[in-house]
Each structure stands twice: as C-alpha cells, then as structure tokens.
Amino acid sequence: MALMRSMLLAASQNTWLREHAVKFPFVRRSVSRFMPGETLDAALAAAQGLLQRKIGTVFTHLGENVADRDEAREVTEHYLEVLDRIHRLSLPAEISVKLTQLGLDLSPDFCFENLERIIQGENGKATVWVDMEASNYAEVTLDIYRRALKNHAHVGICLQAYLYRTKRDLADLLPLRPSIRLVKGAYSEPAAIAFPKKADVNENYFALAREMLGARGAGNCARAAFGTHDVRLIRRISDFVAQQGFAKSELEVQMLYGIQRGEQERLAREGCRSIVLVAYGTYWYPWFVRRLAERPANLWFMLRNVFAS
C-alpha cells in the first residue's frame, strides 16, 4: 500500500495526467463521488441537503500554486462571493482556503492582504480556515496564520499529524488560543520529516487530539476539529471525550463529501458536530488523486468505474 500511495502522490503532480486524465469519462464519474459538481451553485445545493441531516459544511474552491496576481485577486473575489451567498442563504457554512491559491508563491505579504480581505468578508462568527499544504509551506503558512489571528479570533489553521514538527507547532500555537483542524496529511513527504508508517501517524494523531481537547477544556483552544475518515480513530477520540466528561457537542469531526456518509450522519444524530468539506471547481485532478492515495477503498471505487465504462 505504501508503494501505491507513493505512485498516486507522484501522479497527482504530473502535468500531463492533469491535462489528459480529466477527459476520461470513468475519471469524471469517479470524482463525482467526492464533489457534487464544479460550480458554486452545486456546492451550495449540497450544503442545503446536508443541513437537512444536521450536518454543517466547509466549502473549498479547488486550486493551488497561483502564479499570477490577477488570478489570486480573482480567487479572493470568488471567496467573498461565497461568503455573501452563505450569509444570504443563512447557511451554517464556512470556507477553507489554500494560501498558494491566494498568491503565496508570489509574495507572503500579497497573500496576507488577500486573506485579510476574505476574513473581513466574514461576519465575525464563522471560522475562515487556512489549509496546510506541502511541508515546504508549513513555516510561512503558520507565520501568516499568526498574523491573521492577532486581529481576528475566528480564523483556523490545519495541522498535519504525519509531520514530526506538528507537536511543536501545536504547543507554540496554543498560547494564542487558535482554532485547529487536525488531519493526517496527504502529500508525499520524506521519512526525515514525516512518519513513514501509518500506525505511527495514527498514534501521533491521537496524542495530538488528546492535547487539543485538553487545551479546549482549559480554554486555550477556541476550536478543536478532527479531519479524518478513520472510524476506529474517531471512536478512540470519542471515548476520550466521554472519559474526560466533555459534552458530545465538543467532538467535531470534519470529513469529505461522499466519504463515510453513514458515519457523518451517526455523529450528527448523536449530538456531535459533524461537518462535511464540500470541494468544487474545475481544478480537481491533484486534489482527487490525493484522495485516492489516502484510502485504498477510494481507488477500488474508481476501478469499478473503469469496468463500468
């Protein structure tokens, strides 16, 4: 499985595949399992359907590594439109942005200006989430997040459990009372900086989750969210929440659209905070292949679509 994951992560960065694979019908059928459509209207409709099942939404417009200032500004304007639509529809929804989509490769200050505009476009209650990308962006992403957090309490950051540095990053952030979404990590990273074994990633994830929940209970973590589809890990965290005497509503789990739908609904029924990340846009190929690399079951799903062609 490790070899398959490495191959898929390499494929996610392949320019030829990005340009050609999206044209194959079986690929487009497969990706429809994980995103409701390429347009904002499709994403909003999905969020309204989720709301009927007491499930919240985080929207992300797919794209990364923007290398043109006008394009980065267009992305910023798009997210401001998303926020306006969310507010007009009174949806319990938030957004999650990638800093490279806001021009991080061009200039950290330019990127921060765009992020600041987006945060100001929020109503001060919902969280604007900042995604974490590959490890070479970790330090600058955290720097920009700290700058944003000084002026805005409702801004969150994603941390990746497979990186060795994350334990230290979490400790450094907690005095600032951050909002944190913890994920395992979906990029190809060398063993020198990331746990190579899945079991070690899981154990580090659980250790970080306990620390986040402890900080949450002490008032040092504004929000502790767990982005994972690993049902066994979710149950371990849920048991810890119960053992510590936290309310079920303190357990927030964020999953991707179309994955573990039964678990999403179970969590909502039991009073936990169940959130679904709804991705949309035309630049879905790298994101989709990273999803295949995360879970072998996703790959088998795509292969079934091959034979259904």
Task: Name the residue among 262, 194, 257 with its Cα closest to residue 234.
Answer: 262
Q: Report d(CA 115, CA 120) in Å as an integer.
A: 9
Question: Pick the catalytic residue: 69, 84, 117, 131?
Answer: 131
Q: Is 28 known to be catalytic?
A: no
Task: Name the residue among 232, 224, 286, 278 with its Cα closest to residue 256.
Answer: 278
Distance between first and last Cα of the chain? 26
Q: Is 131 known to be catalytic?
A: yes
Alpha carbons within 13 A on the beta-carbon side of 36: 20
Residues 226, 254: contact at Cβ < 8 Å? yes
Question: Pick the catalytic residue: 5, 169, 181, 273?
Answer: 181
Task: Name the residue among 157, 128, 158 with its Cα closest to residue 59.
Answer: 128
Q: What is the 3-state secondary structure (H, E, C) of 207-239?
A: HHHHHHHHHHHCCCCCEEEEECCCHHHHHHHHH
Residues 125, 83: contact at Cβ < 8 Å? no
Residue with tokens 């334990």: 167
Alpha carbons within 13 A on the beta-carbon side of 284: 25
Cβ-based neighbour number of residue 35 at 10 Å: 24
What token pair was written down for 182? Answer: 């913890």
* Residues designated catalytic: 131, 181
